[in-house]
Amino acid sequence: MPIRTVLAVFTATTVLVITGLWVGNNVNLLPPGASSNASTYDELFKVLFSIGTVLFLGIVVLLIYSMIRFRRRSGDMSDGLAIEGNLPLEIVWTAIPAVVVLFVGLYSYDIYERMGGMATLNDHMAMDHGAMQQVSVKEGDTAGRVWGGIGVSGMEAAPGGPVLPVEVTAMQFAFIFHYPGSDITTGELHVPTGQQIELHMEARDVIHAFWVPQFRLKQDIIPGQPTVLSFTATRAGTYPIICAELCGPYHGGMRSNVVVQEPEAYDNWLQQNTPNSTNT
């Protein structure tokens, strides 16, 4: 290959990679994060966005370059070169996506583990060796039948103290939150910063989904199959809770808020709202 071609390819690739990295790191497409999960997510997003930009731009530039450079001049009725393939080249471009995909897969596994996604795996495996069916029948409640979610129990508690459980009931077209510790029932979720929250979710009628974009978390709420979702909020503020699964005519209106408060403000709220009888 002539040295000029090598240089041109090298320069083009470098420019491309730098552009991709720049775009991935500087173009922000996400809303501000508000959970410990979000920063991990945003890291993954940057990496995927960078790789995606490099691949997309590379292919589009190559395509447009070919369309211009190899366009048919008027009157030219001849054919192009009779090249039917090139095994080494084809191996190279089998390898490119394979390597990219392998890297992306391993990296996103790492991210998933850091989000606490693998916690249930250990749980689950342990139960598989026991009698899983019995567990699900006996305990009736959530354990053993709970699938999915992320960061499910089994993780050690976040520094903010013990895990705070909240029961979530979804129905057409509202979310209801119940705090078992203080017997508060509310339509708006209040949580303190820095403490791990564990939502135990059940649906009354059809499938709904709990989604807070600023937390980068979503979990379906499934009738007949309780699910758990856990997170730690990091930034005070009010964020939307959005139902993300088509659940009927008012699905688009099925929204609520999660109010994230500093621990003191949250304690105040707790005090004011705890029913007197159960106030301890």
Partner 1 sequence: MTLASPSDFEDNLQPQGWLRYFSFSLDHKVIGLQYLICGFIFYLVGGALAGIIRTELWSPMSDFVSRETYNETLTLHGTIMIFLWIVPVVNGAFGNYLIPFYVGARDMAFPRLNAVAFWLIPPAGILLISSYFIAGAAAQSGWTAYPPLSLTTPAAGQVVWILSVLLLGGSSIFGGINFIATILKLRRPGLKLMMLPLYCWAMLGTSVLVVLSTPVLAGTLILLSFDIIAHTGFFNPTMGGNVVVYQHLFWFYSHPAVYIMVLPAFGLVSEILPIHARKPLFGYTTMVYSIMAIVFLGLIVWAHHMFTSGTPPWMRLFFTIATSFIAVPTGIKFFNWLATLWGGKIALNSAMLFSCAFIVNFVFGGITGVALAQVPFDIHVHDTYFVVGHFHYIVYGGTVFVIFGSLYHWYPKFTGRLLNEDLGRLHFLLTFVGFNLCFAPQHWLGLNGMPRRVAEYDPAFTTLNQLSSVGALLMAISTLPLLINVVVTAINGKKAGDNPWNALTPEWLTSSPPPVENWHGEAPLVTEPYGYGQHLEAKA
CA distance 192 to 236: 8
Identify the CA nearest to 213 among candidates 242, 191, 189: 242
Which among 255, 191, 270, 263 has a CA at the least distance from the CA of 229?
191
- How do beta strands 164-171 and 196-203 pair? parallel
Select from 17-25, 104-112, 184-192, 270-278 the region that touches partner 1 (CB under 8 A). Answer: 104-112
251 is a site residue for Cu ion (CB under 5 A):
yes
- Indicate which of Cu ion, partner 1, none lies near residue 111 (CB less than 5 to 8 Å, by partner kind): partner 1
CA–CA separation, 280 and 278 (whole Å):
6
Contact between 222 and Cu ion per CB under 5 A? no
Please report, as residue ranges, which positions from 180 to 219 form the binding site for Cu ion (by CB under 5 A).
208
CA 176 → CA 69, 80, 98, 160, 200, distances in Å?
A: 62, 68, 46, 25, 11
Q: Contact 154/186 with Cβ under 8 angstroms?
A: no
- If the CB atoms of residues 231 and 266 are measured against partner 1, the closer one turns out to be 231
- For residues 36 and 12, give the distance between their C-alpha atoms in angstroms, rounded to a whole number: 38
| 3 state SS of 79 | coil
User: Nearest approach, Cβ of 243 to partner 1 (angstroms)?
Assistant: 7
Which positions from 119 through 158 interact with partner 1, judged by CB under 8 A?
120-121, 124, 147-150
Which DSSP string corresponds to 135-147? HHHHH-SSTTT-B
Question: What does 144 bind: partner 1, Cu ion, none (CB cut-off 5 to 8 Å by kind)?
Answer: none
Is residue 207 at the binding interface for partner 1, with CB under 8 A as the rule? yes
Among 51, 233, 254, 258, binds Cu ion (CB under 5 A): 254
Check residue 204 and report its DSSP letter. Answer: S
104: part of which helix (H) or strand (E)?
A: helix 87-114
Residues 230-249 that bind partner 1 (CB under 8 A): 240, 242-249
| Least Cβ distance, residue 240 to Cu ion (angstroms) | 13
Shortest distance in whole angstroms from residue 206 CB to Cu ion: 8
Determine if 224 is a binding residue for partner 1 (CB under 8 A).
yes
- According to CB under 8 A, which residues from 49 to 68 bind partner 1? 52, 55-56, 59-60, 62-63, 66-67
Within 71-90, which residues bind partner 1 (CB under 8 A)? 71-72, 76-86, 89-90
- For 126, residues 6+ apart whose C-beta sits below 8 A from its C-beta are none
Provide, rounded to whole angstroms, the least separation between the CB of residue 253 and Cu ion: 9
Binding-site partner at residue 156 among Cu ion, partner 1, none, CB < 5 to 8 Å by type:
none
Binding site for Cu ion (CB under 5 A): 208, 243, 247, 251, 254
